[in-house]
Amino acid sequence: MTTLSRILVLTILSIILTLTSCSSNDDGATINEPTSISSATDLNVYLGELEQSHTVPGLAISIVKGNNIVYQESFGYANIQNQIAYTNETINSIASLSKTFVGAAVAKAIEQGYFTLETDINDILPIQLINPKQPEGVIKIKHLVTHTSGLLDNPEVYLAHNYHIIPGEDIATAGAGLLMDEVGIEQRETFTLEEFLANYFVEDGDLYSLDNFADTPPGITWNYSNLATGLTGYIIETATGQSFDDYVKENILHHLQMNASTYDISEINTHEMATRYINEDIPLPVYANDSYPEGSMYTTNDDMGKYLLDMVKGIKGESTVLFSKDSYELLFAPQLAAGTVPQDFAENHGLFWYFQDGKALHGGNSFGISTHMEIDQNGNSGYVLLTNMDASFSGNIQDYIAVKEKVTTAITEFLDAIE
């Protein structure tokens, strides 16, 4: 597999993960489908067996039913080599599941009067951002939150120049070598969000290219865009006068008492984070990304349970913790014309949340991270899955899909049993 092919795997993974998969890993280890889960004890046994039967270093799950967290457990290891257990207090980055926090921040900023979904982004940005292929196109906030802005991730640039190994990490390891040699990631200091985005989207930037833009008017074509999400975070910074991480902390994390969660990696003891693994023999060094709003929330299963519970309440109009009921409704309201989103991905989009088969969902996958969150659109239940398992390299994708499908089936069995 070529380096470029590996890079492209991560970019399109959000689509691939919706496909049907097998249920065995590379070792040929298999585990039966869950069929008789009637209690939390049964679910514990099944998930413990699942964690041991597949290449899953550690995993954590929170489940909400009605207005209560009915299950919250963790399995496996935060660090295999040191035999450190993965617990509900283990810090894990959550990759693109972070985008749901950008959605919540947008809903809050709209409620506070900073902008609307119809606002032209150039009415806020300090420098005009123009799509050179569609110079007359007006990019609005609603286009950013639904991946229809025409602002693209250039795969080679996005990974090699956005991700970076943080200073002080050992780069003589196999994991560091994989990131550096196969993907082109460097060890360096983090650029500010403004510096990185200007370098990518402004014409005199070192990373600027026509490949960063689609030749379609805003609002017409769906292209999943991490960097358009990062730009959304920067727009919130510009509009509010706060850093995006401070804005989220003050307006979302604080109100949900998510005291262990942050976008700021400097607040994390990285030695106590869940180690991210390519496989059980290849741990990765700690890395970060400059476009941090779209993929760098650090949190715990305990904190994500609080977030999940509020989203379940909010989607059915029973929460005002973060904002008004109308703003929760906006967060989860379909924003696109039917057929805009590829059918094999989703039916429609809210503010970064997407909808499929009666669920509001979002996943997250990066090097050594695979996460998923979904809630019933009727607000009956929901769950979140956190793992330090890789699905970015092709040999690991099917394994993660199998794990996620079995987790979903087991949770469904559990929820049906406790009605």
Q: What is the pLDDT of residue 395?
A: 76
* pLDDT at position 53: 83
Q: Which pLDDT value is given to residue 55?
A: 83
Query: Domain holding 413: CATH number?
Result: 3.40.710.10
Q: How many domains does the chain have?
A: 1
Low-confidence stretches of the chain (pLDDT < 50) are 1-2, 4-5, 7-29
pLDDT score of 30: 60
Full strand arrangement of the beta sheet holding 186-187: 186-187, 163-165, 287-289
Its domain, for residue 296, covers 3-417
Q: How far is the CA of 404 from the CAs of 22, 340, 374, 387, in angstroms?
A: 11, 26, 12, 10
Q: Residue 46 in contact with residue 37, Cβ under 8 Å?
A: yes
pTM of the model: 0.94
